[in-house]
């Protein structure tokens, strides 16, 4: 089952929240200055796509259009209902724990959207900080090789001598940098 069936099992919940709340907010900000006819076109196209997706999920419509029916939803496997043709005992495994989103409060749609958006932003911030910290931990020490460091020290020493000589021979002359 893929995206055409509305399956979101393989999608990261944080990414799903980002797309669910962040993308519409960004789209609204960008589209607010577009001509009304263009916005009406986008709205009409979106409405048609949603209605088409709804129709293709309906068994009667699929039968009318002679489209293969959708596979039935899987039931959890037990000893009496094996998933395959295998007639042996099927041992059920514990379900994988899926992280839950923030609790929905009774404050209304906007407060729920705001709290989910804040949770998503804070989660992305924490993940970003961990990522940067791990990169910094892996990159401890100098980024330059030993030869580059020794060449830089030699250049600094040479430059200091040139500056001292310039001070001794004439304060007004400027020594060009190389």
Q: Of all helices (H) and strands (E), which one includes residue 64?
A: helix 59-64
Q: Under 8 Å CB-to-CB from 42, ≥6 apart: which residues?
A: 31
Helices (H) and strands (E) in the chain, counts: 6, 0
Q: What is the pLDDT of residues 45-104, one digit of tens each?
A: 999 999 999 999 898 988 888 888 888 877 665 555 545 566 666 666 666 665 565 555
pTM above 0.85, yes or no: no
User: pLDDT tens digit string along 1-55?
Assistant: 445 555 556 678 888 888 888 988 998 888 888 899 998 998 899 999 999 999 9
- Given this model, what pLDDT does residue 178 score? 62
The SS3 assignment for 12 reads coil
| Alpha helices by DSSP H, 18-108 | 23-31, 36-57, 59-64
């Amino acid at each position: 089952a893929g995206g055409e069936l509305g399956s979101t099992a393989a999608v990261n919940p944080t990414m799903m929240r980002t797309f669910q709340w962040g993308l519409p907010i960004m789209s609204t900000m960008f589209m607010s200055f577009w001509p009304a006819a263009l916005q009406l076109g986008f709205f009409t196209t979106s409405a048609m796509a949603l209605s088409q997706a709804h129709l293709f999920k309906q068994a009667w419509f699929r039968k009318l259009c002679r489209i293969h029916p959708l596979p039935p939803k899987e039931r959890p496997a037990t000893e009496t209902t094996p998933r395959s043709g295998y007639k042996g005992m099927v041992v059920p495994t514990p379900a994988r724990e899926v992280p839950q989103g923030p609790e929905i409060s009774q404050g209304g749609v906007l407060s729920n959207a705001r709290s989910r958006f804040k949770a998503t932003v804070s989660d992305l911030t924490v993940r970003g900080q961990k990522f940067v910290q791990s990169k910094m931990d892996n990159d401890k020490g100098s980024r330059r090789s030993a030869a580059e460091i020794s060449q830089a020290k030699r250049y600094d020493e040479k430059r200091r001598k040139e500056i001292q000589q310039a001070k001794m021979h004439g304060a007004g002359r400027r020594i060009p940098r190389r």
